Amino acid sequence: MTPTTETVVGIGGAAESTDMVLNIGPQHPSTHGVLRLRLVLDGERIQHAEPVIGYMHRGAEKLFEARDYRQIIMLANRHDWLSAFSNELGVVLAVERMLGMEVPARAVWTRTLLAELNRVLNHLMFLGSYPLELGGITPIFHAFTEREELQHVMEEISGGRMHYMFNRVGGLKEDLPAGWATRARACVAALRSRMGVYDDLVLGNEIFRGRTRGVGVLSAEAVHAYGVSGPIARASGVDFDLRRDEPYLAYGELQDALKVVTREEGDCLARFECLLEQTHNSLDLADACLDRLAELPPGPVNQRLPKVLKAPEGHTYAWTENPLGINGYYLVSKGEKTPYRLKLRSASFNNIQALTELLPGTLVADMVAILGSLFFVVGDIDK
């Protein structure tokens, strides 16, 4: 009989507390762009999280210095590809402030209207994609149906579906087409009539609420520490919105229609609720802008500019309440036709840093729920 050798393979007790490093990404499909998360795990629980960014970096801030003030609008509208109109807006506001330029009233109200329609477009994407990340496929089909209707309205005035290039220093590219306001109003009414899909189908779903309530709680202190802004900050009880607190465009005259949505819980569910309720309010603001535009007499929508546009020497900072949070441009001019420096403060860059606070102590299974609830665009992080 052949002798046999028996070997016992076991795991020592010390191995139970051994940390494992797990890299999530970089990949595109599940993270709204190329983002990498470096997680340190103890079993199924996250001990440490580090967002690793820069995979999509285009060097936009450096490219600003080699383009004139008309050309930089094209660069600016691409970092958050869901908020192109709002991105353009911040640049032209900064240049107009440097020039001391007064913009025609018709352009001011049209800009406000289009900024709110762009906000709805942005939010609809996340209202559909966030439930998808938690396993609910139906809302994304509704979201894209409604986005298409609104995209048609935006495309009619600008010719662009994502990068509108409709803002100009001194106003807008051109006036609104004949009958456009009627079609825009009908689109807003249609969207409002179907928003119950998210109120009932998503928020009324017990599985969705179970996956998001009490998960990924972000404190108000962490919001201030990391410079988090937008719906994510307001979901943690930080009551701050530039449209109310430092009005620009026509928001100073829209205070009756403007509602700043806040929650105190600071969890994934609160962030989704803020986004949804803010979408409802943006539709109300769009209606208010359409009403005011109907009352305005015909007039210009831009200022005549010199062939070579030069900003005077100096510096200024223009910030706006973009759909994802505060977007700021710090412009430094040496009196040339190109900016000496144009520094971009994007919303997603600050918001995503809060993952180092949100993820430690949570389960790996909750990571996607937390990550998706930050409603970020990776191009807005990497710039």
Mean pLDDT along residues 195-224? 92
| Long-range residue pairs from 202-209, CB within 8 A, at least 24 positions apart, any chain | 202/127, 202/131, 202/136, 202/139, 202/272, 202/276, 203/272, 203/273, 203/276, 205/131, 205/136, 207/134, 207/135, 207/136, 208/131, 208/134, 208/136, 209/269
What's the confidence (pLDDT) of residue 6?
A: 53
What's the confidence (pLDDT) of residue 8?
A: 43
Tell me the per-residue pLDDT of 118-139, one tens digit each, with 9 for 90 and over: 999 999 999 999 999 898 899 9
Question: Mind giving me the DSSP string for 241-281?
Answer: -HHHHS--TTGGG-TTT------SS-SHHHHHHHHHHHHHH
139 neighbors 127 (Cβ within 8 angstroms): yes
Higher-confidence residue of 355 and 58: namely: 355
Whether the pLDDT of residue 17 is over 90: the answer is no
Whether the pLDDT of residue 5 is over 80: the answer is no
Structure tokens at 337: 């036709």
360 neighbors 41 (Cβ within 8 angstroms): no
Confidence at 286, pLDDT banded by 50, 70, 90:
very high
Point out the least confidently predicted range of 14-28, 232-246, 276-290.
14-28
Confidence at 3, pLDDT banded by 50, 70, 90:
low
Residue with tokens 């913009």: 103
Tell me the per-residue pLDDT of 227-245, one tens digit each, with 9 for 90 and over: 999 999 999 999 999 999 9
What's the confidence (pLDDT) of residue 4?
A: 60
49 neighbors 59 (Cβ within 8 angstroms): no
Those residues whose C-beta lies under 8 Å from the C-beta of residue 3, and which sit 6 or more positions away, are: none
Confidence at 57, pLDDT banded by 50, 70, 90:
confident
Confidence at 2, pLDDT banded by 50, 70, 90:
low
Q: How much of the chain exceeds pLDDT 70, in percent?
A: 93
Whether the pLDDT of residue 111 is over 90: the answer is yes
Query: What is the C-alpha separation between 243 and 263, in angstroms, rounded?
Result: 18
Taking the alpha carbons at both ends of the chain, their separation in whole angstroms is: 73
What's the confidence (pLDDT) of residue 243?
A: 96
Confidence at 32, pLDDT banded by 50, 70, 90:
low
Domains with residue ranges and CATH for the chain? 60-381 (1.10.645.10)
What's the confidence (pLDDT) of residue 9?
A: 42
Query: What is the C-alpha separation between 27 and 37, in angstroms, rounded?
Result: 10
Structure tokens at 336: 């040339």
Confidence at 11, pLDDT banded by 50, 70, 90:
very low
Cis peptide before 139 (omega within 30 of 0): no
Tell me the per-residue pLDDT of 216-226, one tens digit each, with 9 for 90 and over: 999 999 999 99
259 neighbors 241 (Cβ within 8 angstroms): no
Whether the pLDDT of residue 14 is over 70: the answer is no
Cα–Cα distance list, 184 to 3, 162, 174, 304 (Å) = 86, 17, 17, 28
Cα–Cα distance list, 135 to 129, 130, 206, 209 (Å) = 10, 9, 13, 13
What's the confidence (pLDDT) of residue 58?
A: 80
Average pLDDT of the chain to the nearest whole number: 90
Query: What is the C-alpha separation between 207 and 205, in angstroms, rounded?
Result: 6
For residue 170, what is the DSSP state? T
Residue with tokens 């609008």: 73
What's the confidence (pLDDT) of residue 162?
A: 85
Tell me the per-residue pLDDT of 326-367, one tens digit each, with 9 for 90 and over: 999 999 999 999 999 999 999 999 999 999 999 999 999 899
